[in-house]
Amino acid sequence: MTGIYPAIYLAICILFFAACGDKKAGNTSGSTDTVVYTYQNFKQRDTTCGNNPDSACTIVKVTYPEFKGMDVLNDSIARKVIGYFAVKPNRSDSSYDQLAANFISVYHNFKKVQPKSTLYYLIDAKAKVLKQDSALLTLKISGYTYHGGGHGVEYTAYMNWDTKANKPVSLSDIFAKNYADSLNKIGEQIFRKNEKLADTARLYNGRTYFFRDNKFALPDNYIIGEKGITFLYNVYTIKPYAAGKTELFIPYKDIKHLLRPNSVVNQYMK
């Protein structure tokens, strides 16, 4: 009998470590329909850094999930990251290598003008899988960038991916036709309540709020959750930098009448 216990103990250990595995790979739910991904790290330092530490170097760092056999999704993640963190968005940066090369070249141009400056530029971005199930994959893209000025800027963007259709989920995919005005009206009511604003308070005053034409509008930056949809305004979008980001949560109970049947959010409707 005494020889059995070490064998059982060994078997338990093997199962434990096999279950834990490498936390950089796997999925975020127990569904057999989820897809496999592995986190990758991209890093490019300015070649003039020499042996300086990263803290004293212009550098581009991106951590992102790479999904097995899902090139369309991988390309979409890259475009999203590049779109938010490219120093010159009009450039046709199509890869992390090109993003880094263009970013570092902008730094070199800055040094030509300000050769004595001790400032360093930085992109530090991460795309993270938040949740996935048999129909929907959600990701958060966040990070910090500095390329001159009084301070850097933090950005956060969300991706909602239909794993069956292999495409991003747009609002028109989950809302019925001509939904926009009704959705914005509901969103404005929640926004004014959150901000403690009267119904007649202006939404553009040049100081506190920057809604174009004094008209409320939801951003094209949202995450689909189990209880509702969270919209996110990044810094400078509708408020000054000091105000930071603004989140606006709309529960499904408030917009149930606007939703399409059989969309990816249908699984959350009870």
DSSP per-residue string spanning the chain: -TTHHHHHHHHHHHHHHHHH--TTEE-SSS-TT---EEEEEEEEE-GGGTT--GGGS-EEEEEEEEETT-HHHHHHHHHHHHHHH-SSTTS---SHHHHHHHHHHHHHHHHHH-TT-----EEEEEEEEEEE-SSEEEEEEEEEEE-SSS--EEEEEEEEEETTTTEE--HHHHB-TT-HHHHHHHHHHHHHHHHT--TT--SB-SSS-B-GGG-----S-EEE-SSEEEEEEPTTTSS-GGG--EEEEEEHHHHGGGBPTTSTTGGG--
CATH of the domain at 221: 3.90.640.20
Residue where a domain terminates, one of 168, 186, 213:
168
Contacts of 76 (CB under 8 A, 6+ apart): 159, 161, 168
pLDDT at 92: 65
Domain of 237 in residue numbering reads as 171-268
DSSP-assigned beta bridge partners for residue 233: 246
Q: CA angle 103-220-255, nearest 5°?
A: 160
Residues 101 and 119 in one domain: yes
Residues 160 and 199 in one domain: no
CATH code, 100: 3.30.565.40
The answer to whether residue 15 is domain-embedded is: no
Cut 0.75: pTM above it: yes
- The predicted model gives 104-120 an average pLDDT of 94
Residues 28 and 162 in one domain: yes
Counted domains in the chain: 2
Cα–Cα distances in Å, from 166 out to 30, 48, 171, 266?
A: 20, 42, 16, 18
Whether 232 is covered by a domain: the verdict is: yes
Whether residue 154 is predicted with pLDDT greater than 50 in this model: the reply is yes
> In this predicted structure, what is the pLDDT of residue 90?
53
Q: How many residues make up the chain in this entry?
A: 270
In a domain, 10, yes or no: no
Q: pLDDT tens for residues 22-38?
A: 344 444 333 445 789 99
- The least confident of 172-181, 189-198, 200-209, 212-221 is 200-209
Boundary-marking domain end, from 168, 192, 226: 168
| Same-domain check for residues 78 and 183 | no
In one letter, which amino acid is 253? K
| Tens of pLDDT, residues 155-165 | 999 999 999 99
pLDDT at 179: 96
Q: Are residues 161 and 189 in the same domain?
A: no
Question: Do 70 and 48 meet the contact criterion of CB atoms below 8 Å apart?
Answer: no
Identify whether residues 120 and 218 lie together within a single domain. Answer: no
Residue 99 belongs to some domain of the structure: yes
Residue 7 belongs to some domain of the structure: no
For residue 6, tell me if it sits in a domain.
Answer: no
28 with 160, same domain: the answer is yes
- Is residue 3 a part of any domain in this protein? no
Give the burial string for 146-185 (b: 16+ CB within 10 Å, else e). ebeeeeebebbbbbbbbbeeeeebebeebbeeebeeebee
Please check whether residues 146 and 49 belong to one and the same domain: yes
Domain termination site, one of 111, 142, 168: 168
Q: Is 30 in the same domain as 163?
A: yes
Is the pLDDT higher at 135 or at 158?
A: 158
How are strands ordered across the β-sheet holding 222-224? Answer: 222-224, 228-233, 246-251
Please check whether residues 103 and 193 belong to one and the same domain. Answer: no
Question: Residue 150 — very low, low, confident or very high, per pLDDT cuts 50/70/90?
Answer: confident
The pLDDT of residue 16 is 37
Q: Confidence class of residue 89 from pLDDT cuts 50, 70 and 90?
A: low
Q: Are residues 118 and 195 in the same domain?
A: no
Asked if 175 and 260 sit in the same domain, the reply is yes
CA distance 156 to 186: 23
Identify whether 207 is part of a domain: yes
d(CA 26, CA 8): 27
Average pLDDT (202-209) is 90
